[in-house]
């Protein structure tokens, strides 16, 4: 149980904060740098998967399973994957 005022910020991975839309904030309050970095990461993953079937090697790995959840819920973070 956290002491009031000492809660740690919620993060996705390696200290990257949860997207603001996911926290219920309007799109106008989004940090443009976070959105830009998110789209860069998604583009890198898409580019990689255009050339290979899986993220690592020739078989399904934990990386594929873990990143599936992020892409399936990307819309909740303000990211649109419809091209």
Q: What is the pLDDT of residues 27-56, one digit of tens each?
A: 677 788 888 888 898 899 989 999 999 999
Q: Please report the pLDDT score of residue 3 as a whole number.
A: 45
Task: For residue 29, count CB atoms less than 10 angstroms from its CB and return exposed for 0-12, middle for 13-18, buried for 19 or more.
Answer: exposed
Instruction: State percent of the chain over pLDDT 90.
Output: 23
- The pLDDT mean for the chain works out to 75
Model's pTM, two decimal places?
0.62
Q: Please report the pLDDT score of residue 51 as a whole number.
A: 93
Q: Rounded to an integer, what distance in angstroms lies between the CA atom of residue 22 and that of residue 6?
A: 21
The mean pLDDT of 51-76, rounded to a whole number, is 88
């Amino acid at each position: 149980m956290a002491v009031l005022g000492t809660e740690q910020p919620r993060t996705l991975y390696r200290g990257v904060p949860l997207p603001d839309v996911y926290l219920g904030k309007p799109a106008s309050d989004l940090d443009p740098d976070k959105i830009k970095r998110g789209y860069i990461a998604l583009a890198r993953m898409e580019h990689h998967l255009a050339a290979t079937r899986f993220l690592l090697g020739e078989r399904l790995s934990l990386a594929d399973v873990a990143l599936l959840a992020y892409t399936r819920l990307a819309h909740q973070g303000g990211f649109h994957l419809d091209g």
